């Protein structure tokens, strides 16, 4: 049996020693070739480890401290990848100040500003509605 483990036969039935077949095999890739060949496995391993850490953290974290979804939602809203929900804008306690929204420039002007009600292509709205529609305050500060 040991002899059969070390021998491979050809179509003609001639035995070929396994050592001879191994010497004909392509050499193992090294350097850049090895990286190109195995990088998918490395990425999969790193992603699996990160997923395991996140899942483990969620399992051991008590339910009352799980607010990561709220933090992620707030971050995505701040960065601009997500539109704020109407309730979120109202919860920030923006006053119902009447502002002038310049539709062309994408900004709104507070009462007392020299461009309040004067720019072409604008309309009046509450500050909360202007913020909800992603308009920026002209002075980068909410109205007082």
Over residues 72-102, the pLDDT tens digits come to: 777 677 767 777 666 555 445 666 889 999 9
Classify residue 65: in a domain, yes or no. Answer: no
Instruction: Work out the mean pLDDT of the chain and round it to a whole number.
Output: 76
Residues in the chain: 144
- pLDDT higher for 38 or 19? 38
- pLDDT higher for 90 or 39? 39
Q: Distance (Å, rounded) from C-alpha 4 to C-alpha 16?
A: 10
Residues 91 and 133 in one domain: yes
Classify residue 42: in a domain, yes or no. Answer: yes
Classify residue 74: in a domain, yes or no. Answer: no
Residues 16 and 55 in one domain: yes
Classify residue 72: in a domain, yes or no. Answer: no
Alpha carbons within 13 A on the beta-carbon side of 50: 6
Classify residue 66: in a domain, yes or no. Answer: no
The answer to whether residue 5 scores a pLDDT higher than 90 is: no
Classify residue 73: in a domain, yes or no. Answer: no
Classify residue 36: in a domain, yes or no. Answer: yes
Residues 7 and 56 in one domain: yes
Provide the residue range defining the domain that includes 99: 86-137
User: Region 123-138: what's the mean pLDDT?
Assistant: 89
Residues 109 and 116: beta-carbon distance below 8 Å: yes
Query: Mean pLDDT highest for which of 21-25, 51-55, 109-113?
Result: 109-113
pLDDT at residue number 61: 60
Residues 6 and 53 in one domain: yes
pLDDT at residue number 38: 87
The answer to whether residue 43 scores a pLDDT higher than 70 is: yes
Classify residue 143: in a domain, yes or no. Answer: no
Domain total in the chain: 2
User: How wide is the angle at C-alpha 30 spanned by C-alphas 26 and 32, nearest 5°?
Assistant: 120
Q: Which H or E element spans position 132?
A: helix 127-132
pLDDT at residue number 84: 67
**Residue 46 CA to chain centroid, in angstroms?**
16
The answer to whether residue 37 scores a pLDDT higher than 70 is: yes
Instruction: Give the CA distances from residue 6 to residues 11, 23, 27, 64, in Å, rounded to whole numbers and listed in that order.
Output: 17, 14, 20, 63
């Amino acid at each position: 049996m040991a002899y059969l483990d070390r021998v491979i036969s050809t179509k003609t039935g001639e035995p070929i020693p396994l050592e001879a077949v191994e010497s004909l095999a392509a050499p193992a890739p090294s350097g850049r070739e090895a990286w190109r060949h195995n990088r998918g496995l490395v990425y999969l391993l790193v992603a699996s480890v990160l997923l395991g850490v996140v899942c483990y953290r969620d399992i051991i974290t008590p339910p009352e401290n799980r607010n990561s979804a709220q933090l992620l939602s707030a971050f995505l809203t701040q960065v601009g990848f997500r539109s704020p929900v109407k309730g979120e804008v109202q919860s920030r306690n923006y006053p119902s100040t009447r502002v002038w929204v310049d539709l062309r420039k994408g900004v709104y002007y507070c009462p007392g500003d020299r461009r309040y009600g004067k720019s072409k292509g604008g309309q009046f709205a509450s500050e909360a509605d202007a913020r909800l529609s992603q308009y920026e305050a002209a002075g980068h500060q909410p109205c007082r």
